[in-house]
Amino acid sequence: MISDEIILRVTNLSVTLQNQAVLSNINFAIKKGITLAIIGPNGAGKSVLLRALLNLVPYSGEIEWREKVKIGYVPQIVAFRDIPISVLEFLTIKKGVKPAEAMRAVGLDDGILKKSLGVLSGGQLRRVLIAWAIKDRPSVLLFDEPTTGVDIDSEEAIYDMLRQLTHLNNMTLILISHDRHIVRDYSDYVLALDSCVQFFGESKEVMNPELANKLYREGHACPVEPLAGDPLG
């Protein structure tokens, strides 16, 4: 059993899909209440890692969540564009949701409840999906590409809202991001993937230009040891 301060520990995690190794020997651990950014080039296995953490893909190795952890998940928004239902209908698929209250929690007016999911802006749809994900008061929120399809003006607002929500609710946030300044300004730790762990450490460290260029470059070979050790020991 993992200690009380650790909310997630991943040991020797590997994922193979369609006879292709997607993730190899992934190891890291995070404390509760922190924000972890997952970075890496396209095809690095970032979304697959989130799905493995949710037990949605087969894997080898070990994923240990703290006892009684409750997980919320915000997927990429593309799949929701063609769903012909209103925001109200979407939010009330499951019982116990107070739609107007849920909208206020993510900074939206309850007038949006009558609109179809398909007509919402990228920023509005992201906020609706966040409202859905946090309605059960999760202790961990997994977020796949928070600002994909979101205009620049909405991007900072969404991250500010996420920071406030996680702080108020003492949530741990695990998010995928390609944006270096988001990693710097809104996360505590960073996990750099390219099928294996390239780096795991404090986010401020990846602002070093030489290190950042290595981490964001496609086809970077797996190191014998990651560029940083487990900061939690």
* pLDDT recorded at residue 233: 46
Q: How confident is the model at residue 123 (pLDDT cuts 50, 70, 90)?
A: confident
Secondary structure element (H or E) that encloses residue 208, with its range: none
Q: Say whether pLDDT at 154 is over 50.
A: yes
In the block, which residue shows the tokens 């859905």? Answer: 132
Helix (H, G, I), strand (E, B) or coil at 183: helix
Helix (H, G, I), strand (E, B) or coil at 168: helix
User: How many whole angstroms separate alpha carbon 47 and alpha carbon 79?
Assistant: 14
In the chain, count H helices and then E strands.
7, 9
By C-alpha distance, which of 37, 64, 68, 67 is closest to 52? Answer: 64
* pLDDT recorded at residue 40: 86
pLDDT digits (tens, 9 = 90+) for 21-36: 999 999 999 999 999 9
Widest CA span in the chain: 54
- Side-chain-side CA neighbours of 182 within 13 Å: the count stands at 24
Fill in the amino acid letter for 216: Y
* Residues whose CB falls within 8 Å of the CB of residue 47, separated by 6 or more in sequence, listed in order: 76, 144, 176
Least reliable range by pLDDT among 72-81, 86-95, 178-187, 221-230:
221-230
Helix (H, G, I), strand (E, B) or coil at 16: strand
Beta strand residue intervals within 66-224, DSSP E: 71-74, 140-143, 172-176, 189-193, 197-202
